């Protein structure tokens, strides 16, 4: 399967931002796929494309604000949930333009990605067209699931999240409500999910770390990037995630 986030799939922006710092891994991938060469900075957690060669500005929660300012970007990309308000405020106080995203559903993500790409001079890149087409038809309900995103304490994906909407549109409903509730193993198993779904991020669950707490339940492992990132991975998520959940 081709990787839509490779830099070669992008093109130089004809109009719009020319120097971009991204504080959001999924948006870093989106920029790299849309406007080749405009990225000048990204976080340490920006892992796609794999050979991205730009200045690193620290983590999403604790970016080096001085480094971002020194890169002289004409656009900084942030996310309300991943980045701290005080960092966004400090960047704006320094005179930088900061565009903050906060999608809660797949349609919102596609719309916000169109806005971001528009700021780069290409509001409808090929990968975004494919992503829109991939999500045109929600699928019928298949199973109820519980999705841990952390342990010690156990934290879970609630139904009021972007990732839960991704799953819902693929036919999987989460048993937990809200955003990211802290629930014990017993509180979760009492809800009788059909599958315990382990993503590999933000916590790196794996066959030896997670399923042992749920010996009587069917477990599945999914790509955290395809589940939680809103960017080029959305074009492939409707194929990748059901295969991993089947």
CATH at residue 236: 3.40.50.1980
Q: For residue 138, is it within any domain?
A: no
Q: Which long-range contacts (CB under 8 A, 24 or more apart) does 49-58 make?
A: 49/3, 49/5, 49/6, 49/7, 51/7, 52/7, 52/28, 57/21, 57/23
Q: What are the pLDDT tens digits along the chain (246 aa)?
A: 223 332 323 333 346 899 999 999 999 999 999 997 999 999 999 999 999 999 999 999 999 999 999 999 999 999 999 999 999 999 999 999 999 999 999 999 999 999 999 999 999 999 999 999 999 999 999 999 999 999 999 999 999 999 999 999 999 999 999 999 999 999 999 999 999 999 999 999 999 999 999 999 999 999 999 999 999 999 999 999 999 999
Give how many domains the chain has, as a whole number. 2
Query: Global pTM?
Result: 0.90
Domain hosting residue 116, numbered range: 7-133
Q: For residue 1, is it within any domain?
A: no
Could you tell me if 90 and 177 lie in one domain?
Answer: no
Could you tell me if 124 and 207 lie in one domain?
Answer: no
Q: 101, 133, 165 — which closes off a domain?
A: 133
Could you tell me if 149 and 128 lie in one domain?
Answer: no
For position 15, what pLDDT does the model report? 63
């Amino acid at each position: 399967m081709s990787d839509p986030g490779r830099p070669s799939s992008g093109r130089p922006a004809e109009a719009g931002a020319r120097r971009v710092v991204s504080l959001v891994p999924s948006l870093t991938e989106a920029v790299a796929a849309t406007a080749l060469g405009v990225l000048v900075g990204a976080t340490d957690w920006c892992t796609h494309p794999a050979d991205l060669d730009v200045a690193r500005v620290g983590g999403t929660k604790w970016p080096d604000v001085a480094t971002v300012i020194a890169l002289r970007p004409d656009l900084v990309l942030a996310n309300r949930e991943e980045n701290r308000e005080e960092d966004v405020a400090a960047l704006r106080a320094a005179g930088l333009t900061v565009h903050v995203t906060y999608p809660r559903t797949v349609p919102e993500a596609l719309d916000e990605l169109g806005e971001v790409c528009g700021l780069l001079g290409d509001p409808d890149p090929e990968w975004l067209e494919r992503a829109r087409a991939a999500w045109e038809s929600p699928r019928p309900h298949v199973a109820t699931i519980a999705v841990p995103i952390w342990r010690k304490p156990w934290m879970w994906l609630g139904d009021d999240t972007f990732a839960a909407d991704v799953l819902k549109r693929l036919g999987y409903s989460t048993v937990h409500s809200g955003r990211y509730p802290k629930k014990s193993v017993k509180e979760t198993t009492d809800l009788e999910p059909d599958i315990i779904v382990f993503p590999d991020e933000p916590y790196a669950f794996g066959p030896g770390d997670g399923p042992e707490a749920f010996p009587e339940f069917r477990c599945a492992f999914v790509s955290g990037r395809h589940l939680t990132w809103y960017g080029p991975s959305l074009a492939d998520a409707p194929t990748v995630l059901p295969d991993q959940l089947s």
